[in-house]
A and B are shown apart, each in its own frame.
Chain A
Amino acid sequence: MNIVVAIKHVPSTADELEINDEGVNLDFDEVDFTINEFDEQAIEQAVLVKEASGGEVTVIGVDVIEELDGVLHTALAKGADKAAKIVGDLEPPIDSHTQARWLADAIGGLTPDLVLTGVQAVDDLDGQIGPMLAAYLDLPYVGVVTGLSVSDGTATVHKEYAGGVMAEFEVNLPAVVGVQAAEKPPRYAPISKIRQMAKSADLEEYEADENVGDSGCEIRKMAKPVSAGHAEMLEGDAEEVAEKIIEILEERGLL
């Protein structure tokens, strides 16, 4: 079993996000990057499959800001066997079409039996890298998956539909699967293991081909949500604010 997990480095929402001066994207100098949370589910699911049915897990991502190593080392500490990154003279943002192209080129050469992606990434909420990968590699795709097991060249995957309806699919391998949740919560990677990986692991590198073209879409404007303008912010500590709320409610005859 050759399992490949595609992961994406996305802006971290731990800090408040800033918009760049042109107002068309984030100010990437002012944001930290982190692994897309669904990709952590995909990595966990890959390691679970490996533990259950054997095989090898390779984690691969586009190194947009040249800080992907930490993420890859973490994946290795969690049980991945190999890690690779797509490098070049890159700068954020790089749209998902371009990333899907690069990933497909690299992953195609790895002759995977199973490709896992996160169901979608929090940066552009496009949800399309998985389907596009499948298209480029000419493989079947199942998305929004919450569990997966493998036997005899087929994968059995679970999906949860709205209203609590559950479905089970059988997919011929190789296939691409978009993971929403692994069967177990992602495991913890002890820092000393990550550091050990940082010292010893070799990360394979693929050159990004700058001539693959892009999505053809352009962001025209990006802004923080503007409040409708009618909100009155109540200032003060909890006690004062509570008092003001009661006042207002009484004023309007609601109490």
Chain B
Amino acid sequence: MISNNKTFTKIIEKQLLNLVSNFPFIEEAVIVSSDGYVVANSKTNNKCIEKVSTMGSSMISLADTMTAELKMGRCVNLITENESGLVVIIHINSDLKIITVTRKVSQLGMLLTSTKKYAAKIRESIN
């Protein structure tokens, strides 16, 4: 449904390309549907990212379930800090999530701020 709409995908893709060109430490940015389909990707032909994005949709869904259980409302963003990189997942709306990946472990602040900013931009541009 979502992923078949070409103009819609084009708009989002353009935003993702802006994001990675304005913040070159971001290795990859992906938009994934809440049921785990890649809708747009800053890099074409990266097979591995499809699986990772689907995992991201499971993770943020689980995080939402966890925070609801704690009566803390919806999860705003999910960060995984890893030995050699960072991943951020943020809701764009109920259907779409943005996932950004960097190898620069020191850039958490920038990664969060820029991803949030573009999540908001994309939300606006598709409304």
Does B associate with A?
A: no
Residue ranges of B at the interface with A (Cβ–Cβ < 8 Å): none
